[in-house]
Chain A
């Protein structure tokens, strides 16, 4: 039994390394000078420096305004997505609507469109209404892929919740909205947390629409990081520091919601999981 645990632990550590190694390598690189970054064999012992972080957070190459841009775009996208997706997913999971199946498929089908095919129409539409390089423009475009994804994800969580609980609330003269708010949502906390994380993460990491539809006013961190890959040279250490700074908000959000995410991801694995 003990040996089995050890083997499982070793496998878990190896699997973790696949994910953590690039991040740790990036972290170490961000603490090196450019000379140490390029040294061969790679230097394990070196004098760490915070200079790269200083360059990334201050001065002409600062990415702080871009981090703020990313927070605004991703935060607004997530908020609006959840406000719209929760009732939509609830309706699709509970109401006996004639077009329910078709609507569900339509929601999923929008995810199948390659984003690059949408860039030009989005650009032309936003340009026509004067919304290129604006927060509302980018958030509107992000909603087009975040919303179907969130609805699709939430429907599966809502369907896990036994209808009897809701019916009890309805018998007690609660309306649909009250039943959703007081019965469904507390039960689906895990699923909602997972959805929030994924929507936020997708918006945070998005590059294609950000580079084409953004500009000087709205320039998310994914685009700004390219400033460290200039035509003259790649500033590896500063790029690594920028990457670490860019990852931090998502990691913090993940840690904050960790408890709910674990619950959310395991919903359905065990009977009655939705109630845990």
Chain B
């Protein structure tokens, strides 16, 4: 009902505005009307919610500097026209956004209504009650038109990653999955197929490894960090059959853990450029785009960089495949998404405004507008499987390389594992401890077993508090 009232009010406003322009003919009015007309709020008005219920609120949203958030920022005038809520974005470097968010949440200052949240931080947020569970808002017909929002269309694993003890805490806005990215010309020359198992991956790497001609056989992120080497190692660990928790205790130095780390160290030591120990995903993408790598495993969203004609020398030579199976028979990919939680320190009205912003940003309409329907930046990491499988999305990525769409969607649908990384409130410290141990093994300071034993000891201290 309230939605209908809102529609009528808006329609009558537009009529008044158009009539005013016709009568006055003043250039400034015409300019204003054009600016209003450029913002199309029609598709959002199909939702049976009162979009203007928090009119007049002002929100600050922390995001990171990235094209996909720029695409959202470009669309923000639509949200403001739709809701009357003013939203300002603050770009915080990725290394600092977590700390800044924690500072804001823990001090209950309510600076950021919502922020681009790392899914591994929801346990911390939930255990401290810094963010509200969103199931109430999702189920409240005054705030969410379930039939219009279609929450179930959002990639289940991403939703799962943002859920703590059965309660969702953030809605995924943008995400990715990790896949094999290989040079199909080099593979064809050697008669290779994309690896089906981790052993195959090593064999493929060995076959195309030719450092004398500046082609290294295989690489993955080696840089120390929870979002770097500890972003890749967990996929190998789970594919080796590792379980993070045994009888409720975090176990890092299990036989599967040691075997996984030995595999990781072996690949990077034998078939990667020596500098890979300090490489992060942009470095890998740069190296692959220059023809220096024959294969690497990383984010599917790197495709836009690999196919950037300003940089890349390998356009038309790229193929994609899902993660290979490990000894356990499982393929395990990463579950990454930047989601939007609701800051618990906000007033009730500000929470409603924040929720409207979140549903607007993560809705199918905004996802399309910031991706395949965008005239500017076209996001790859949209949050809904039906849209990822749409013809419009397929048309957008058709030149990204062989099997791009299939590898990506199958990976997201089948290979994502909610227990990919150990989910716990102490994750920030545990993740960094693990990352340090992995790098110690990668650079040869310690044997994998020794590094993990040491990490186990440190983590035990962290968990003791």
* A206: interface (CB < 8 Å): no
Contact assessment for A231 and B107 in the assembled complex, using a CB-CB cutoff below 8 Å:
no
Binds B, one of A7-15, A107-115, A222-230: A222-230
Q: Among A34, A38, A226, A232, which residue has its beta carbon within 8 angstroms of that of B304? A: A232
* A60: interface (CB < 8 Å): yes
Contact assessment for B91 and A233 in the assembled complex, using a CB-CB cutoff below 8 Å:
no
Q: Write out the residue numbers on chain A whose beta carbons fall within 8 Å of the beta carbon of B282.
A: 229, 232-234
Q: Write out the residue numbers on chain A whose beta carbons fall within 8 Å of the beta carbon of B91.
A: 227
Contact assessment for A40 and B290 in the assembled complex, using a CB-CB cutoff below 8 Å:
yes
Most chain B Cβ neighbours within 10 Å, of A119, A124, A230: A230
Contact assessment for B311 and A216 in the assembled complex, using a CB-CB cutoff below 8 Å:
no
Give the Cβ gap from A54 to chain B, nearest Cβ, in Å. 15
* B270: interface (CB < 8 Å): no
Q: Write out the residue numbers on chain B whose beta carbons fall within 8 Å of the beta carbon of A212.
A: 96, 99-100, 103
Q: Write out the residue numbers on chain A whose beta carbons fall within 8 Å of the beta carbon of B103.
A: 119-120, 123, 212
Q: Among A60, A132, A229, A233, which residue has its beta carbon within 8 angstroms of that of B286? A: A233
* B255: interface (CB < 8 Å): no
Q: Write out the residue numbers on chain B whose beta carbons fall within 8 Å of the beta carbon of A233.
A: 282, 285-286, 305, 311
* B70: interface (CB < 8 Å): yes
* A127: interface (CB < 8 Å): yes
Q: Mark B58-89, 1 if CB is under 8 A from A, else 0.
A: 00100011111010000000000000000011
* A33: interface (CB < 8 Å): yes
Contact assessment for A215 and B290 in the assembled complex, using a CB-CB cutoff below 8 Å:
no
Contact assessment for B286 and A127 in the assembled complex, using a CB-CB cutoff below 8 Å:
no
* B111: interface (CB < 8 Å): yes
Q: Write out the residue numbers on chain B whose beta carbons fall within 8 Å of the beta carbon of A211.
A: 92-93, 96, 100
* B94: interface (CB < 8 Å): yes
Q: Mark B108-144, 1 if CB is under 8 A from A, else 0.
A: 0101000000000000000000000000000000000
Q: Among B111, B214, B289, which residue has its beta carbon within 8 angstroms of that of A38? A: B289
* B152: interface (CB < 8 Å): no
Task: Report the bound CA distance from A33 to B60 in whole Å.
Answer: 36
* B90: interface (CB < 8 Å): yes
Q: Which residue of B lies closest to A41 (CB)?
A: B214
Task: Report the bound CA distance from A70 to B69 in whole Å.
Answer: 25
* A35: interface (CB < 8 Å): yes
* B310: interface (CB < 8 Å): yes
Task: Report the bound CA distance from A232 to B65 in whole Å.
Answer: 9
Q: Write out the residue numbers on chain B whose beta carbons fall within 8 Å of the beta carbon of A127.
A: 107, 109, 111
Q: Write out the residue numbers on chain B whose beta carbons fall within 8 Å of the beta carbon of A124.
A: 107, 109
* B337: interface (CB < 8 Å): no
Task: Report the bound CA distance from A215 to B96 in whole Å.
Answer: 12
Give the Cβ gap from B207 to chain A, nearest Cβ, in Å. 23
Give the Cβ gap from B189 to chain A, nearest Cβ, in Å. 21
Q: Write out the residue numbers on chain A whose beta carbons fall within 8 Å of the beta carbon of B92.
A: 211
Contact assessment for B107 and A123 in the assembled complex, using a CB-CB cutoff below 8 Å:
yes
Are A33 and B65 also in contact (CB < 8 A) when A211-B96, A212-B96, A233-B305 are? no
* B383: interface (CB < 8 Å): no
Give the Cβ gap from B198 to chain A, nearest Cβ, in Å. 27
Are A230 and B111 also in contact (CB < 8 A) when A38-B290, A40-B214, A212-B99 are? no
- Of the A-B pairs whose beta carbons lie under 8 Å apart in the complex, a sample of 14, sorted by A's number, is A34-B310, A34-B311, A40-B214, A120-B107, A124-B107, A211-B96, A211-B100, A216-B90, A226-B65, A227-B65, A230-B66, A232-B282, A233-B305, A233-B311
Closest 3 CB pairs of A and B: A226-B93, A227-B65, A231-B66
